[in-house]
Chains A and B, each alone.
Chain A
Amino acid sequence: MSQTVVFPGSAVSPHEDQAAPETRIRSYWQSVGYRLRHDKATVFFGTMVLLIVLSAVLAPWLAPFDPYKESIIGRLKPMGWRGHLLGTDELGRDMLSRLLYGGRVSLLMGIVPVIFATCAGGALGVIAGFMGGKVNTGIMRTMDVFYAFPSVLLAVAISGAMGGGMSNGMLALTLVFIPPMCRVAETATTQVRALDFIEAARATGAGTMTIVRHHVLGNVLGPVFIYASSLVSVSILLASGLSFLGLGVRPPTADWGLMLSTLRQSIYVVPVVCALPGVAIFITSICFNLVSDGLRQAMDVRM
């Protein structure tokens, strides 16, 4: 939306003595905030995301039981059995506590790779877009090679070859997300670079670093941020998938993907309890996805 950001009668005008209608011109970020606050769905799902993150952070205080305490007699019990609100798993550990603790690993493995990939891919993209020519060709053709792998396949290949583990998994996911991130940043930079104000800045004697810092970054960060926010949901799904295949954390650490995989053998005993870790992944992924959609609309980024 490129219309003017004037909203009549929304704030106290500085010129109240004049008869003109009360108007105020918002800055870009003010108008983004205005749109976000009035988008009920995004506010709701944003709150959900916040609650999910908080419940993971506060897991040691919220969990009703020790997530590692096993019980021979209390294995695979249904929901509500002896105070175990969501039942127990195949080793008699409390499901609710394990889900809360599992969120810590799953969210960490979902968010950290996106942050790293955004920094690395974004920087590469800006360099490729701003330098153009041979540098651009070199960087972007290398990225094309990684584009040639379906993302699940690349993540599994790298972390599988490196022998699994949480840090290898995060490294694999980072490598998976760098190429698309780089492409988004490169496209945005190339578009901005062709605009007149960059040339004007150069004509007034601004150095390359100044132009990049003040004129390019400001215009590239929006699309990069939106794209990164949409990657979080993908990353959580992929990270849980890696754990599901045994390429993430090692047992007995609680992790949604790993829990789903170890509970798979017990679907004939307590089907509902076995599906719970997947519900957690699904809800988290939906919330992040919808918040990202809301942000994209509020920030008016087209990709």
Chain B
Amino acid sequence: MTRYILQRILYAIPIAFGVSVVCFSLVYLAPGDPLQTILPPDATAETIEIVKKAYGFDKPLPIQFAIWLSKVVTGDFGMSIATRRPVFDEIVMAVGNTGMLVVFAIPLAFSIGFSMGLLAGCFPGKVVDRSVTGIAVFGVSLPNYWLAIVMVIVFAVELSWLPATGMGPKGSDAFSVWRWSDARFLVLPVITLSMIPIGIIARTTRAAIAETRNQDFVQTLRAKGLGEMAVIRHVVKNALPGVLAVMGLQFGYLLGGSILVETVFTWPGSGFLLSKAIVNRDVPVLQGTILVLAVAFVTINLVVDLLQSLIDPRIRRG
């Protein structure tokens, strides 16, 4: 077991390194000299030289990368060009706000998606199965930023039950999920974000349950006289690890992929920070946010793998 954990962690390190290389090179994908974003347009040749030295742009690329990486590891992502605040502080706040959405969206998606998939898997080919499969396709094909707009139209504009955008008058610092006047701002973004995971989890669960039900041990259970509920309990236990892994992946996807939904709801999370950085051509923020989200994604995948091997010893041996 310890060997497996070490192996997995050692495997994640080169990936994280590669991720940082990709993030570092994002600056060089930008058209023109990266210096142009910092310098005023009328800078003299002398100023350019000084700034170049100050930012280390006169050194060869590998050295630049090493310097950048050593700063990043200590949490120094540089200054935001737009707000002149440390990028790190902005990212911490934004990722926290996105995390709040995801922490509510994933359990919601799991409970709905898993129950749908379980029903469908227990009655393959029946009406239940076909309608669940249909709903799942809807969920997977849904442009969630459009759903976000429709939600705003229906529940904020037409019915005016819930607020359309933002985190409330007090902003993100004073936000508390335990107060309804704050928490109601969460409702629409959370429901919107959970739609795609519901579709994916329902599909995965259905497939896993249907496959497990066809295994020999289920027949043995029935042969020794177990009731249908008890059989299903065994089936669920065997199908669960795969579904949990998919749920973990979805957790990571939402953390990094909520950019469109956050833009619609102007929710001050990581995605909103990213889209602002794109509009302002704020490269340090863009780079830092993407690095943090990608490393978080790698870490989540690692944790999911390890948890899965804890639940299901077959994976360790395989």
Interface residues of A (CB under 8 A from B): 141-142, 144-146, 148-153, 156-158, 160-164, 233, 237, 240-241, 244-247, 260, 264, 267-268, 271, 274-275, 277-279, 281-282, 285-286, 288-290, 293
22 contacts between A and B (CB under 8 A): A142-B18, A145-B19, A150-B253, A150-B297, A152-B253, A153-B290, A156-B275, A157-B286, A160-B277, A245-B275, A246-B278, A247-B278, A260-B146, A275-B150, A278-B149, A279-B146, A281-B143, A282-B141, A285-B141, A286-B137, A286-B141, A289-B137
A278 to B150 Cα, complex, angstroms: 9
Q: A150-B253, A153-B293 are in contact. Are A241 and B145 (CB under 8 A)?
A: yes
Asked if A161 contacts B256 (CB within 8 A), the reply is no
Q: Which residues of B contact A160 (CB under 8 A)?
A: 274, 277-278, 286
A154 to B314 Cα, complex, angstroms: 33
Among B145, B255, B277: residue with most chain A CB under 10 A: B145
Using CB atoms, name the residue of chain A closest to B21: A145
Asked if A233 contacts B141 (CB within 8 A), the reply is yes
Using CB atoms, name the residue of chain A closest to B290: A157
Taking CB atoms and an 8 Å cut-off, the chain B residues in 140-165 that contact chain A are: 140-143, 145-147, 149-150, 152-153, 157-158
Q: A271-B157, A282-B141 are in contact. Are A150 and B256 (CB under 8 A)?
A: yes
A289 to B146 Cα, complex, angstroms: 18
Taking CB atoms and an 8 Å cut-off, the chain B residues in 111-163 that contact chain A are: 137-138, 140-143, 145-147, 149-150, 152-153, 157-158
Asked if A271 contacts B257 (CB within 8 A), the reply is no
Asked if A152 contacts B260 (CB within 8 A), the reply is yes
Q: Which residues of A contact B21 (CB under 8 A)?
A: 145
Other A-B contacts than A160-B274, A161-B283, A282-B143, 20 sampled, CB-CB below 8 A, are A145-B15, A145-B18, A148-B294, A149-B294, A150-B252, A153-B256, A153-B274, A156-B259, A161-B26, A161-B27, A162-B29, A244-B263, A245-B259, A267-B153, A274-B153, A275-B149, A278-B145, A285-B142, A289-B137, A290-B137
Tell me which of B141, B264, B281, B297 contacts A148 (CB under 8 A): B297
Asked if B149 contacts A150 (CB within 8 A), the reply is no
Q: Which residues of A contact B294 (CB under 8 A)?
A: 148-150, 153
Q: A145-B15, A148-B298, A286-B137 are in contact. Are A162 and B31 (CB under 8 A)?
A: yes
A157 to B252 Cα, complex, angstroms: 16
Q: Identify whether the interface residues of A are mostly helix, strand, loop, or mixed.
A: helix
List the 6 shortest-distance A-B pairs measured between CB atoms, nearest first. Answer: A278-B146, A145-B18, A150-B256, A152-B257, A285-B141, A153-B256
Among A151, A152, A282: residue with most chain B CB under 10 A: A152
Distance from A191 Cβ to chain B, minimum over Cβ atoms (Å): 17
Asked if A153 contacts B259 (CB within 8 A), the reply is yes
Asked if B146 contacts A268 (CB within 8 A), the reply is no
A146 to B263 Cα, complex, angstroms: 24
Q: Which residues of B contact A164 (CB under 8 A)?
A: 278
Taking CB atoms and an 8 Å cut-off, the chain B residues in 216-272 that contact chain A are: 252-253, 255-257, 259-260, 263-264
Number of interface residues of B (CB under 8 A): 51
Distance from A151 Cβ to chain B, minimum over Cβ atoms (Å): 7
Using CB atoms, name the residue of chain A closest to B293: A153
Among A142, A149, A150, A247: residue with most chain B CB under 10 A: A150
Q: A148-B294, A149-B19, A281-B143 are in contact. Are A156 and B149 (CB under 8 A)?
A: no
Q: A152-B260, A160-B286, A161-B26 are in contact. Are A237 and B149 (CB under 8 A)?
A: no
B40 within 8 A of A: no
Q: Which residues of B contact A144 (CB under 8 A)?
A: 15, 18
Distance from B131 Cβ to chain A, minimum over Cβ atoms (Å): 14
Asked if A163 contacts B145 (CB within 8 A), the reply is no
B1 within 8 A of A: no
Asked if B153 contacts A271 (CB within 8 A), the reply is yes
